[in-house]
Structure 1
């Protein structure tokens, strides 16, 4: 995974599509879903860490605007 699109594709692979028209809320929901996938052991620790890093970077970029 290298970007937000890759995170969205990971979520889509497990049947989750997130779009609320509120970018900040979307990022929060994606974080929650990634945590849940990891908790249920659907994704690896590496996938979890990478996805969370990407989401937190995007949140930081959005908050600076």
Structure 2
């Protein structure tokens, strides 16, 4: 698992499709859904940690992108 798309594919294996309409919100909802799957022991610790790292990276990227767009 290396990309946000990979995390989406993992969630879809459990019937979870996230589309809120804004990418940063999608990432936040995906993180919450992933937390629920991990609490239910449906994903391994390794999958969970890897996916959370990807989501954190993507969330920071979106925050940075949004902050730069507001300054322009």
Task: Tell whether the structures are fold-level matches, with TM greater than 0.5.
Answer: yes
Which stretches of structure 1, 4 residues or longer, exceed 4 Å deviation after superposition? none
Aligned position for 1:45:
45
Q: Which has the larger radius of gyration?
A: 2
Corresponding residue pairs, total: 65
TM-score by length of 2: 0.88
Structure 1 residues not aligned, in runs of 5+? none
Aligned position for 1:63:
63
**Offset at 1:22?**
1.0
TM-score by length of 1: 0.97
After superposition, the CA RMSD in angstroms is 0.5
Structure 2 residues not aligned, in runs of 5+? 66-72
